[in-house]
Amino acid sequence: MKALTNRAKAVDRRPMNFWEKIYLVAIFKGLMITIKHFFMKKQTINYPEEKRPFSPVFRGLHILNRDEEGRENCTACGLCALACPAEAITMEAAERLPGEEHLYREEKYAAKYEINMLRCIFCGFCEEACPKDAVYLSQTVPPPSFDRKNFVYGKQDLLIPHPKNK
């Protein structure tokens, strides 16, 4: 019968000799591999004390950006929420009131902006979709927690500090 693929290998059916029957050679080969790994450089790191550098294209926590005067860049256009394949971003828009020109750049702003980090897949589509460069993904890892509500970040958690109030 002809084989369907070229991956078939012939099986060696000859009888084992004395050294193969007592498996000493196989045990010695296994011990040599173990001894070789014993003297190799360790791959693990002591995490809290040592931190491994991230790749330059690593995407971490989301950040809402401000301009040089401290006004929010987000205009609540909703493109980031539409671009998110995991539907992790929710927002509500509001109109800027008279006297709030120092807080928001445009007439419309995000009154509520939340990101559920448990749903986020860190794809970066929200960053690419934003026309005002208001959202970007930083190099920061989300902190661990046992509580689910700690992974829903609101607008105040995501905004960078005001440049004039530092």
d(CA 107, CA 103): 11
In sequence order, which residues have a C-beta less than 8 Å from that of residue 158 and are 6 or more positions away?
62, 63, 64, 113, 115
User: For each of the chain's 166 residues, which pLDDT tens digit applies?
Assistant: 677 788 888 888 899 888 888 888 889 999 999 999 999 988 888 888 888 888 889 999 999 998 888 888 899 999 999 999 999 999 999 998 888 888 888 889 899 999 999 999 999 999 999 999 999 999 988 888 999 999 999 999 999 887 766 5
Per-residue pLDDT, 151: 94
Q: Which residues are annotated as a binding site?
A: 74, 77, 80, 84, 120, 123, 126, 130
Per-residue pLDDT, 61: 92
Per-residue pLDDT, 28: 93
Rg (CA), the chain: 29
Q: Which residues are annotated as a binding site for [4Fe-4S] cluster?
A: 74, 77, 80, 84, 120, 123, 126, 130
Phi, psi of 159 (to 5 degrees): -70, 135
pTM here is 0.68
CA distances (Å), origin 130, targets 28, 36, 79, 134, 137:
61, 52, 6, 7, 12
Per-residue pLDDT, 90: 95
d(CA 157, CA 155): 5
Structure tokens at 144: 């661990």
Per-residue pLDDT, 98: 87
| Strand pairing report for 89-95 and 135-137 | unpaired
Domains of the chain (ranges; CATH) run 61-158 (3.30.70.3270)
Per-residue pLDDT, 166: 56
